[in-house]
Amino acid sequence: MSATPSTVTAPSAMLRIRPLTDHIGAEIEGVDLSRPISAAQFQAVNAALVAHGVLVFRNQDLPPAMHVDFSSRFGPLVGHIVKRFSVEDFPEVTYISNVKNDKGEMIGADRAGMIWHSDMSYMERPMLGSMLYGVECPPEGADTEFASMFAAHDALPESLRARLNKLRGIHDYPWHYATYLSHRKPLTEEEKAQAPPVTHPIIRTHPVSGRKALYLSEGLTRSIEGMDEAEGRRLICLLTDFSTQPAFVYRHRWQPRDLVFWDNRSTMHRATEFDNQYRRLMRRTTIQGDAPF
Ligand SMILES: [Fe+2]
Protein backbone atom coordinates (compact mmCIF):
# COMPACT_ATOMS: atom_id res chain seq x y z
CA MET A 1 0.00 0.00 0.00
CA SER A 2 1.37 3.45 -0.85
CA ALA A 3 2.40 5.58 2.09
CA THR A 4 0.87 9.01 2.61
CA PRO A 5 3.19 11.84 3.73
CA SER A 6 1.82 11.48 7.24
CA THR A 7 2.74 7.82 7.62
CA VAL A 8 4.97 7.23 10.63
CA THR A 9 7.37 4.32 10.95
CA ALA A 10 8.19 3.01 14.41
CA PRO A 11 11.63 1.57 13.55
CA SER A 12 12.24 -0.68 16.56
CA ALA A 13 8.74 -2.12 16.22
CA MET A 14 8.95 -2.54 12.42
CA LEU A 15 5.44 -1.22 11.93
CA ARG A 16 3.91 1.71 10.09
CA ILE A 17 1.12 3.97 11.31
CA ARG A 18 -0.99 5.64 8.61
CA PRO A 19 -3.58 8.16 9.88
CA LEU A 20 -7.00 7.73 8.26
CA THR A 21 -8.55 11.14 9.04
CA ASP A 22 -7.45 14.38 10.68
CA HIS A 23 -8.84 13.49 14.11
CA ILE A 24 -9.38 9.76 14.44
CA GLY A 25 -8.23 6.40 13.09
CA ALA A 26 -4.98 4.92 11.81
CA GLU A 27 -4.12 1.83 9.85
CA ILE A 28 -1.29 -0.25 11.29
CA GLU A 29 0.84 -2.10 8.78
CA GLY A 30 3.68 -4.54 9.29
CA VAL A 31 2.34 -6.52 12.24
CA ASP A 32 1.22 -10.17 12.21
CA LEU A 33 -1.28 -10.83 15.01
CA SER A 34 -1.32 -14.61 14.47
CA ARG A 35 1.76 -14.81 16.68
CA PRO A 36 2.75 -12.97 19.89
CA ILE A 37 3.95 -9.41 19.23
CA SER A 38 7.23 -8.08 20.64
CA ALA A 39 7.44 -5.64 23.56
CA ALA A 40 8.45 -2.88 21.11
CA GLN A 41 5.43 -3.61 18.91
CA PHE A 42 3.16 -3.62 21.93
CA GLN A 43 4.43 -0.22 23.01
CA ALA A 44 4.05 1.22 19.51
CA VAL A 45 0.49 -0.15 19.18
CA ASN A 46 -0.47 1.16 22.63
CA ALA A 47 0.91 4.62 21.85
CA ALA A 48 -0.91 4.64 18.49
CA LEU A 49 -4.17 3.67 20.19
CA VAL A 50 -3.92 6.59 22.60
CA ALA A 51 -3.00 9.00 19.80
CA HIS A 52 -5.50 7.88 17.13
CA GLY A 53 -8.37 6.29 19.08
CA VAL A 54 -9.07 3.62 16.45
CA LEU A 55 -6.54 1.21 14.91
CA VAL A 56 -7.21 -0.90 11.83
CA PHE A 57 -5.22 -4.07 11.12
CA ARG A 58 -6.07 -5.55 7.73
CA ASN A 59 -5.77 -9.14 6.55
CA GLN A 60 -5.11 -10.78 9.90
CA ASP A 61 -5.41 -14.47 10.75
CA LEU A 62 -6.86 -14.28 14.26
CA PRO A 63 -8.36 -17.45 15.78
CA PRO A 64 -10.07 -16.92 19.18
CA ALA A 65 -6.99 -18.03 21.15
CA MET A 66 -4.82 -15.36 19.47
CA HIS A 67 -7.60 -12.77 19.78
CA VAL A 68 -7.53 -13.42 23.55
CA ASP A 69 -3.73 -13.44 23.59
CA PHE A 70 -3.36 -10.06 21.83
CA SER A 71 -6.23 -8.38 23.71
CA SER A 72 -5.02 -9.46 27.13
CA ARG A 73 -1.69 -7.71 26.59
CA PHE A 74 -3.61 -4.48 27.25
CA GLY A 75 -5.50 -5.55 30.39
CA PRO A 76 -7.92 -8.10 31.83
CA LEU A 77 -10.75 -9.17 29.53
CA VAL A 78 -14.42 -8.88 30.39
CA GLY A 79 -17.02 -11.20 28.81
CA HIS A 80 -20.51 -10.08 27.77
CA ILE A 81 -23.23 -9.90 30.42
CA VAL A 82 -25.28 -12.26 28.22
CA LYS A 83 -23.29 -15.51 28.53
CA ARG A 84 -25.03 -17.34 25.68
CA PHE A 85 -23.26 -15.04 23.16
CA SER A 86 -19.78 -16.30 24.13
CA VAL A 87 -17.58 -18.26 21.73
CA GLU A 88 -17.36 -21.91 22.81
CA ASP A 89 -14.41 -22.47 25.19
CA PHE A 90 -13.62 -18.73 25.14
CA PRO A 91 -15.89 -16.95 27.66
CA GLU A 92 -14.00 -13.66 27.05
CA VAL A 93 -14.83 -13.69 23.33
CA THR A 94 -18.33 -12.62 22.26
CA TYR A 95 -20.05 -13.21 18.93
CA ILE A 96 -21.63 -10.17 17.31
CA SER A 97 -23.74 -11.84 14.64
CA ASN A 98 -27.09 -12.38 12.90
CA VAL A 99 -26.35 -16.11 12.45
CA LYS A 100 -28.69 -18.67 14.07
CA ASN A 101 -27.85 -22.10 15.49
CA ASP A 102 -29.69 -25.41 14.74
CA LYS A 103 -32.42 -24.47 17.22
CA GLY A 104 -33.06 -21.17 15.43
CA GLU A 105 -31.50 -19.10 18.22
CA MET A 106 -29.10 -16.23 17.59
CA ILE A 107 -25.56 -17.32 18.42
CA GLY A 108 -24.46 -13.75 19.14
CA ALA A 109 -25.56 -10.22 19.86
CA ASP A 110 -27.75 -9.19 16.89
CA ARG A 111 -28.23 -5.54 15.92
CA ALA A 112 -25.74 -4.66 18.65
CA GLY A 113 -24.61 -1.10 19.19
CA MET A 114 -26.71 0.69 16.54
CA ILE A 115 -26.88 3.80 18.77
CA TRP A 116 -23.77 5.85 19.59
CA HIS A 117 -22.04 4.51 22.70
CA SER A 118 -18.76 3.70 24.42
CA ASP A 119 -18.59 0.00 25.32
CA MET A 120 -19.92 -0.94 28.75
CA SER A 121 -19.81 2.65 30.01
CA TYR A 122 -22.43 1.44 32.51
CA MET A 123 -19.73 -0.35 34.54
CA GLU A 124 -17.92 1.28 37.48
CA ARG A 125 -14.71 0.53 35.60
CA PRO A 126 -15.71 0.70 31.93
CA MET A 127 -13.73 -0.72 29.06
CA LEU A 128 -10.30 0.57 28.09
CA GLY A 129 -10.74 -0.78 24.61
CA SER A 130 -12.48 -3.29 22.38
CA MET A 131 -11.21 -5.47 19.56
CA LEU A 132 -13.64 -6.53 16.84
CA TYR A 133 -12.61 -9.10 14.23
CA GLY A 134 -14.45 -9.73 10.98
CA VAL A 135 -15.02 -13.42 10.15
CA GLU A 136 -17.93 -12.98 7.70
CA CYS A 137 -18.87 -9.46 6.62
CA PRO A 138 -21.78 -8.38 4.38
CA PRO A 139 -20.54 -7.08 1.01
CA GLU A 140 -22.28 -3.76 1.70
CA GLY A 141 -23.53 -2.00 4.83
CA ALA A 142 -22.69 -3.00 8.42
CA ASP A 143 -19.99 -0.32 8.58
CA THR A 144 -18.86 0.87 12.01
CA GLU A 145 -18.60 4.61 12.66
CA PHE A 146 -16.26 6.03 15.28
CA ALA A 147 -16.24 9.57 16.71
CA SER A 148 -13.33 11.33 18.41
CA MET A 149 -14.42 12.58 21.81
CA PHE A 150 -11.10 14.45 22.13
CA ALA A 151 -12.01 16.47 19.03
CA ALA A 152 -15.55 17.00 20.35
CA HIS A 153 -14.27 18.20 23.70
CA ASP A 154 -11.75 20.57 22.16
CA ALA A 155 -14.36 22.11 19.85
CA LEU A 156 -16.89 22.90 22.60
CA PRO A 157 -17.38 26.54 23.57
CA GLU A 158 -15.38 27.32 26.71
CA SER A 159 -18.47 28.28 28.74
CA LEU A 160 -20.24 24.99 27.97
CA ARG A 161 -17.07 23.02 28.73
CA ALA A 162 -16.85 24.73 32.16
CA ARG A 163 -20.48 23.78 32.85
CA LEU A 164 -20.04 20.17 31.71
CA ASN A 165 -16.90 19.83 33.83
CA LYS A 166 -19.06 19.77 36.95
CA LEU A 167 -21.62 17.24 35.68
CA ARG A 168 -21.90 13.46 35.84
CA GLY A 169 -23.80 11.28 33.40
CA ILE A 170 -26.00 8.38 34.50
CA HIS A 171 -25.10 5.25 32.50
CA ASP A 172 -27.76 2.55 32.62
CA TYR A 173 -27.68 -0.79 30.74
CA PRO A 174 -31.14 -2.14 31.71
CA TRP A 175 -32.60 1.21 30.49
CA HIS A 176 -30.58 0.91 27.25
CA TYR A 177 -31.73 -2.69 26.75
CA ALA A 178 -35.41 -1.89 27.34
CA THR A 179 -35.19 1.18 25.06
CA TYR A 180 -33.14 -0.09 22.11
CA LEU A 181 -33.00 -3.91 22.27
CA SER A 182 -36.67 -4.86 22.60
CA HIS A 183 -36.24 -7.35 19.69
CA ARG A 184 -34.18 -9.56 22.02
CA LYS A 185 -35.20 -11.77 24.94
CA PRO A 186 -35.60 -9.49 27.99
CA LEU A 187 -32.70 -9.39 30.46
CA THR A 188 -33.09 -11.75 33.40
CA GLU A 189 -33.22 -10.29 36.91
CA GLU A 190 -29.75 -11.75 37.48
CA GLU A 191 -28.39 -9.99 34.37
CA LYS A 192 -30.02 -6.71 35.43
CA ALA A 193 -28.50 -7.04 38.91
CA GLN A 194 -25.02 -7.14 37.35
CA ALA A 195 -25.43 -3.66 35.88
CA PRO A 196 -27.08 -1.16 38.25
CA PRO A 197 -26.89 2.47 36.99
CA VAL A 198 -23.56 4.23 37.59
CA THR A 199 -22.42 7.84 37.17
CA HIS A 200 -19.26 9.07 35.45
CA PRO A 201 -17.86 12.55 34.79
CA ILE A 202 -19.09 13.98 31.46
CA ILE A 203 -15.58 15.25 30.80
CA ARG A 204 -12.93 12.68 31.57
CA THR A 205 -9.14 12.75 31.56
CA HIS A 206 -7.37 10.15 29.46
CA PRO A 207 -5.29 8.16 31.98
CA VAL A 208 -2.34 7.80 29.58
CA SER A 209 -2.15 11.09 27.67
CA GLY A 210 -3.93 13.43 30.09
CA ARG A 211 -6.08 14.79 27.24
CA LYS A 212 -9.68 15.66 28.04
CA ALA A 213 -12.50 13.84 26.29
CA LEU A 214 -16.29 14.08 26.37
CA TYR A 215 -17.67 10.95 27.99
CA LEU A 216 -21.36 10.37 27.34
CA SER A 217 -23.52 8.83 24.64
CA GLU A 218 -27.06 8.84 23.37
CA GLY A 219 -27.16 5.04 23.69
CA LEU A 220 -25.95 4.39 27.23
CA THR A 221 -26.15 7.69 29.15
CA ARG A 222 -29.74 7.82 30.33
CA SER A 223 -29.60 11.28 31.86
CA ILE A 224 -27.49 13.68 33.93
CA GLU A 225 -27.21 13.56 37.70
CA GLY A 226 -29.07 16.35 39.49
CA MET A 227 -30.84 17.50 36.33
CA ASP A 228 -34.45 17.03 35.27
CA GLU A 229 -34.51 13.66 33.42
CA ALA A 230 -35.87 15.05 30.13
CA GLU A 231 -33.59 18.11 30.18
CA GLY A 232 -30.56 15.90 30.84
CA ARG A 233 -31.62 13.62 28.00
CA ARG A 234 -31.90 16.56 25.60
CA LEU A 235 -28.42 17.77 26.49
CA ILE A 236 -26.98 14.26 25.99
CA CYS A 237 -28.58 13.98 22.55
CA LEU A 238 -27.37 17.46 21.55
CA LEU A 239 -23.82 16.64 22.65
CA THR A 240 -23.96 13.30 20.84
CA ASP A 241 -24.98 15.10 17.63
CA PHE A 242 -22.20 17.66 18.11
CA SER A 243 -19.60 14.94 18.74
CA THR A 244 -20.53 12.93 15.67
CA GLN A 245 -20.27 15.67 13.06
CA PRO A 246 -18.53 14.28 9.96
CA ALA A 247 -15.18 15.99 10.65
CA PHE A 248 -14.81 14.02 13.89
CA VAL A 249 -15.84 10.62 12.46
CA TYR A 250 -14.04 7.69 10.84
CA ARG A 251 -16.29 5.17 9.08
CA HIS A 252 -14.87 1.67 8.82
CA ARG A 253 -15.97 -0.48 5.86
CA TRP A 254 -15.38 -4.06 6.91
CA GLN A 255 -13.56 -6.75 5.03
CA PRO A 256 -13.17 -10.27 6.40
CA ARG A 257 -9.92 -10.61 8.39
CA ASP A 258 -10.00 -6.99 9.59
CA LEU A 259 -9.26 -6.40 13.24
CA VAL A 260 -10.33 -3.00 14.58
CA PHE A 261 -9.10 -1.95 18.03
CA TRP A 262 -10.63 1.16 19.58
CA ASP A 263 -10.09 3.21 22.72
CA ASN A 264 -13.39 3.51 24.59
CA ARG A 265 -11.92 6.27 26.78
CA SER A 266 -11.74 8.75 23.92
CA THR A 267 -14.16 7.53 21.24
CA MET A 268 -17.80 6.56 20.69
CA HIS A 269 -19.00 4.21 17.99
CA ARG A 270 -22.08 2.75 16.39
CA ALA A 271 -22.94 -0.03 13.98
CA THR A 272 -24.87 0.78 10.80
CA GLU A 273 -27.66 -1.04 8.95
CA PHE A 274 -27.22 -3.88 6.47
CA ASP A 275 -29.43 -6.26 4.52
CA ASN A 276 -30.22 -9.19 6.82
CA GLN A 277 -30.03 -11.64 3.91
CA TYR A 278 -26.25 -11.43 4.40
CA ARG A 279 -24.48 -13.32 7.17
CA ARG A 280 -22.48 -11.24 9.59
CA LEU A 281 -20.14 -13.01 11.98
CA MET A 282 -17.78 -10.96 14.13
CA ARG A 283 -15.83 -11.80 17.28
CA ARG A 284 -15.21 -9.23 20.00
CA THR A 285 -13.12 -8.89 23.13
CA THR A 286 -13.37 -6.05 25.63
CA ILE A 287 -10.55 -4.92 27.87
CA GLN A 288 -11.15 -3.63 31.40
CA GLY A 289 -10.18 -0.02 32.06
CA ASP A 290 -10.03 2.24 35.12
CA ALA A 291 -12.77 4.29 36.75
CA PRO A 292 -13.11 7.56 34.73
CA PHE A 293 -11.85 10.75 36.42
FE1 LIG B 1 -20.02 -1.31 20.94
* Residue whose C-alpha is closest to residue 287's, from 49, 14, 110: 49
Q: Which active-site residues does the annotation give?
A: 117, 119, 269, 284
Bridge partners (DSSP) of residue 8 are 17
Per-residue pLDDT 10s for the chain (293 aa) are 444 446 777 766 689 999 999 999 999 999 999 999 999 999 999 999 999 999 999 999 999 999 999 999 999 999 877 788 898 999 999 999 999 999 998 899 888 889 999 999 999 999 999 999 999 999 999 999 999 999 999 999 999 999 999 999 999 999 999 998 888 888 899 888 888 999 999 999 999 999 999 999 999 999 999 999 999 999 999 999 999 999 999 999 999 999 999 999 999 999 999 999 999 999 999 999 999 99
User: Distance, CA 44 to ligand 1 centroid (Å)?
Assistant: 24
Cα-based distances in Å from 68 to 48, 91, 178: 20, 10, 30
DSSP for 196-238?
--EEEESEEE-TTT--EEE---TTTEEEETTS-HHHHHHHHHH
Strands 259-263 and 203-205: unpaired
CA distance 27 to 50: 14
User: Distance, CA 115 to ligand 1 centroid (Å)?
Assistant: 9
User: Distance, CA 5 to ligand 1 centroid (Å)?
Assistant: 32
User: Distance, CA 227 to ligand 1 centroid (Å)?
Assistant: 27
All domains of the chain in start order, with CATH: 77-256+264-288 (3.60.130.10)
Q: Which residues fall inside 5 Å of ion ligand 1, going by CB? A: 113, 119
CA distance 214 to 217: 9
